[in-house]
Amino acid sequence: MSERFLAVVNPAAGGGRCGRLAGPALDRLRSQGIALDVAETRSPGQATALVREAHARGCRRFLAVGGDGTAFEIVNGIFPADAGDRSALAFLPLGTGNSFLKDFADAPDAEHLAAALLSGRRRACDVVRLTHADGVLYYINLLTLGFAADVAAITNRRFKRWGELGYILGVLTCLARLDRRAFPLRLDASSETDRRRCLFLSFSNSRFTGGQMMIAPRADACDGYIEYVRWGPIGRLGLLWNLRTLFDGSHIEHPLASRAAVRRVDFELDAPVDVMIDGESLRLECRSLEILPGALDILV
């Protein structure tokens, strides 16, 4: 098993910020004695392929240089093959949101990262397995359907280059054409299907999304549960009035909101829908979610 890290760099992350800053940041890590191999990605999905090949060669240490989407692709290169030796994932957060890492460090920089790598500080992190009509995906941050997924889709199409401001513009655009609908599902071993209309559903492993939005304030990436948050069909004015609560997590106290810690979710969708998964906007026919407790080591 290799003791070197494979640093997977997404130069487009953060509106190109990662491409400008990655080289000097990686040089600082090398100067502190950290052995790195570096691979740059040029297209969506390439990080997954690179990591899968490296994993087959015995690499078990990976460094995500970019944002949440970069880490998402790396995780999907590690799993499901990581059944023997455990893999470890570290982060050099040069993307737009870097939402997942906010659960572990307020403002990590290259020095903080180097200390984590040199000391070998690890935490066992849960991973969520999503089965959909066309295959399987793995994530460590969150999956969301409804309003938040609509925001992610339009942000990626129209406003991504503006970073966190772009996310706010996406929110305002979706607010103007508010769509509240049902996503039938069952939680854990329940025999009852929830077919109620909602603003959004979130299935979180960590607390934040979109950089600063605390969609799941009670989530814990190391507790062995998926944090399920549902916000019912709130009206446009009500959402506008309560929009600020999405940033401090107090939205879950709204009368139309609810939450639960679950281990499995079964969907009864009859067609693909827009989803946002770890910063990536996809269209999937979701079938089920399962928690894989402590399946990945993270270095923080």
Tens-digit pLDDT profile for residues 220-265? 999 999 999 999 999 999 988 998 999 999 999 999 999 999 999 9
3-state secondary structure of 84: coil
Residue 110: pLDDT above 70?
Answer: no
User: What's the average model confidence in pLDDT over 96-109?
Assistant: 72
The pLDDT value given to residue 67: 86
Place of tokens 């399962």: 290
Residue 82: count other Cβ atoms within 10 Å of its Cβ: 18
All structural domains of the chain, each given as residue ranges with its CATH number in brackets, are 5-120 (3.40.50.10330), 139-295 (2.60.200.40)
Share of the chain above pLDDT 70, in %: 95
**Spatial separation of the C-alpha atoms in residues 48 and 70, rounded to whole Å:** 9
**Spatial separation of the C-alpha atoms in residues 6 and 62, rounded to whole Å:** 5
Contact assessment for residue 203 and residue 128, using Cβ atoms and an 8 Å cutoff: yes
Contact assessment for residue 181 and residue 197, using Cβ atoms and an 8 Å cutoff: yes
- Least confident segment among 105-114, 142-151, 192-201: 105-114
**Spatial separation of the C-alpha atoms in residues 34 and 64, rounded to whole Å:** 15
The band of 163, judged by pLDDT with boundaries at 50, 70 and 90, is low
**Spatial separation of the C-alpha atoms in residues 220 and 206, rounded to whole Å:** 6
The pLDDT value given to residue 289: 98
Residue 213: count other Cβ atoms within 10 Å of its Cβ: 23
Residue 169: pLDDT above 90?
Answer: no
Residue type, 267: F
The pLDDT value given to residue 219: 97
Rg (C-alpha) for the chain, rounded Å, is 19
Tens-digit pLDDT profile for residues 39-75? 999 999 999 999 999 999 999 999 999 888 899 999 9
Strands 5-9 and 61-66, bridge-based pairing: parallel
